[in-house]
């Protein structure tokens, strides 16, 4: 369960400034000599230090440098790769923690690719853990928590295979590093937590923690699943089957009703697997789809297996959309309240929007549902061999928005990779939770 510590300080700039001025006056009066004056060289040094600190850190950050520094290591073991976040956090009094730095390093493939060799799966994390070893000061290693949280990639493996991988990961970390290892060092994270933590991270970076209903919704499209999260203001108006997905939790100083749903098996990579149909060609099994370029032939690796894939003579936008509709019809219940939310879409949604020319910089831009329909039509018409999945992927994303959730063509959303310079991920929310549990233990 989340606690009130999971929030960002939201004092106004004026309050922070006045607070810092008061603090400076108090400390100045305490530090005077008996004559009431400091030697001129010391005054100049202190003045320069204060100026540098205020310019570089800002009033609040600079004055909080004396706070305790904590490190939390989170490894996001996803379906397509593993990514490490080494978070540097400072205590912010009653407001929980302030993120100072996120050292990030990704690698591929993911743990699920090593289903037949659990030891190799564990050893694949060595570059990430070595990276953390360098980023965390040596004298902080023994009390720096490391957690490996696997998502949809391991959820879709058999329980035995996934368990063997996680056991080997725990052994590897404990045998080779001096980080603090708690029970369940490596575990499969529930999709609900994944979505909730991503929403918390998003609101943190948006500084959207005022004690009023939050208007922000998050849609995080991963490889194995996707998550939809928002605070509901009218729980009674939700579809009957959606009400069980509402959690009542304390966030940012008040109890909130948060809708969070994880759609396992509907991430982008899993959608591809479902849309690629098996056929026999010259006695060999091949996967094909009208969503692939007609003249394409090649290999595709997914979940530790390799497949032969090729295009279809029926390749077109209309046929691809029909295939998606037939495959996923009825899997998603539309939620009218989503129309009132400020939707942020990220992960693979950003990647595919960028490939289609909808967004450029990492901060993304505001796009419409119709924009996704347009780049999907363009991709299917272009038949580009070097973008073999662009038609399939963008048609699927457009299907989610336009037909599954029934968002109007002119519905506007933020498609982003970063917010205020920080990459959106569930890992920061998970780090806050680890710090809260450490306080309570």
Give the catalytic positions in this structure. 194
Question: Which tokens belong to 77?
Answer: 């073991």
Instruction: Using alpha carbons, select from 376, 380, 367 the residue that is nearest to residue 407.
Output: 367
d(CA 251, CA 118): 38
Instruction: Using alpha carbons, select from 170, 149, 8, 166 the residue that is nearest to residue 73.
Output: 149
Q: Is 383 left (phi over 0), alpha (psi -120 to 50) or beta?
A: left
d(CA 391, CA 407): 20
Instruction: Using alpha carbons, select from 208, 209, 211, 258 the residue that is nearest to residue 233.
Output: 258
For residue 327, the surrounding DSSP H or E stretch is: helix 317-328
Element counts in the chain: helices (H) and strands (E): 14, 18
Do 409 and 373 contact (CB within 8 A), yes or no?
yes
Go through the chain and tell me how many residues it has.
441
Between β-strands 216-221 and 342-347, what pairing exists: parallel, antiparallel or unpaired? parallel
Sheet holding 225-231, edge to edge: 246-251, 254-264, 225-231, 216-221, 342-347, 412-415, 365-368
Residue 8 makes CB contacts below 8 A (sequence gap 6+) with: 95, 96, 98, 203, 204, 207, 209, 252
Which residue is it, tokens 């400390």? 27
Which residue is it, tokens 């026999």? 280
């Amino acid at each position: 369960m989340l606690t009130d510590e999971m929030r960002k300080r939201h004092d106004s700039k004026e309050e922070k400034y006045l607070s810092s001025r008061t603090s400076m006056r108090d400390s100045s009066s305490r530090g005077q000599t008996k004559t009431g004056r400091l030697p001129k060289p010391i005054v100049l040094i202190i003045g320069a230090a204060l100026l540098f600190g205020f310019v570089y850190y800002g009033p609040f950050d600079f004055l909080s440098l004396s706070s305790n520094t904590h490190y939390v290591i989170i490894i996001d073991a996803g379906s397509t790769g593993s990514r490490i976040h080494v978070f540097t956090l400072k205590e912010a009094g009653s407001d929980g923690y302030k993120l100072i730095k996120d050292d990030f390093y990704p690698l591929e493939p993911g743990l699920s690719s090593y289903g037949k060799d659990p030891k190799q799966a564990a050893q694949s994390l060595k570059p990430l853990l070595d990276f953390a070893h360098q980023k965390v000061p040596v004298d902080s290693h023994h009390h720096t928590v490391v957690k490996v949280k696997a998502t949809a990639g391991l959820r879709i493996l058999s329980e035995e295979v996934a368990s063997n991988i996680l056991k080997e990961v725990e052994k590897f970390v404990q045998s080779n590093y001096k980080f603090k290892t708690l029970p369940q060092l490596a575990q499969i994270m529930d999709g609900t937590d994944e979505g909730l933590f991503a929403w918390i991270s998003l609101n943190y970076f948006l500084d959207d923690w005022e004690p009023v209903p939050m208007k922000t919704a998050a849609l995080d499209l991963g490889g194995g699943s996707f998550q939809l999260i928002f605070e509901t203001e009218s729980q009674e108006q939700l579809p009957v089957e959606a009400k069980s997905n509402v959690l009542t939790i304390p966030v940012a100083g008040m109890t909130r009703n948060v809708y969070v749903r994880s759609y396992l098996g509907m991430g982008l990579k899993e959608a591809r697997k479902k849309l690629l149909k098996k056929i026999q060609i010259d006695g060999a099994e091949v996967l094909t789809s009208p969503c692939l370029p007609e003249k394409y032939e090649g290999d595709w690796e997914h979940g530790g297996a390799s497949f032969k894939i090729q295009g279809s003579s029926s390749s077109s936008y209309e046929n691809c959309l029909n295939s998606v509709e037939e495959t996923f019809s009825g899997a998603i219940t539309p939620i009218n309240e989503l129309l009132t939310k400020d939707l942020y879409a990220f992960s693979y949604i950003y990647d595919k929007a960028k490939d289609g020319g909808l967004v450029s910089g990492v901060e993304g831009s505001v796009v419409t549902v119709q924009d996704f329909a347009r780049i999907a039509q363009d991709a299917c018409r272009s038949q580009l061999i070097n973008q073999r999945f662009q038609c399939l992927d963008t048609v699927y994303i457009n299907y989610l928005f336009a037909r599954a959730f029934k968002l109007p063509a002119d519905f506007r959303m933020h498609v982003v990779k970063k917010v205020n310079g920080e990459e959106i991920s569930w890992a920061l929310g998970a780090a806050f939770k680890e710090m809260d549990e450490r306080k309570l233990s």
